[in-house]
A and B are shown apart, each in its own frame.
Chain A
Amino acid sequence: MTGEEILKRLLGILQDLAPEADVRQLDPDVRVRDQLDIDSMDLLNFVIAVDEQFGVDIPERDYPKLRTLNDLVRYVEVRLGDDATLEPGSVD
Chain B
Amino acid sequence: MVNEKQLKEEVKKIVSRDDVKYVIGYEKGTYGFQAAPSFAFTPEEADKFIFSPLCVNNLAVYLMLEEKLPLHKNEKEDTRKIGLIVKGCDSRAVVQIIQERGLKREEVVLIGIPCRGIIDPKKINAKFPNQMKNVDVNEDGEKFLIKVDGATHNIPKDELLFEKCKHCENPNPVIYDMLIGKEVKTLKKENYDDIKSLEKKSLKEKWEYWEKQFEKCIRCYACRNACPMCYCKECMVDQLSPQWIRRSVNLSENTVWNIMRAYHLAGRCIGCGECERACPMDIPLTKLNKKIEKDVKEMFDYMPGMDAEEKPLLAMFKPDDPEEFIL
Q: Are A and B a genuine interacting pair, yes or no?
A: no
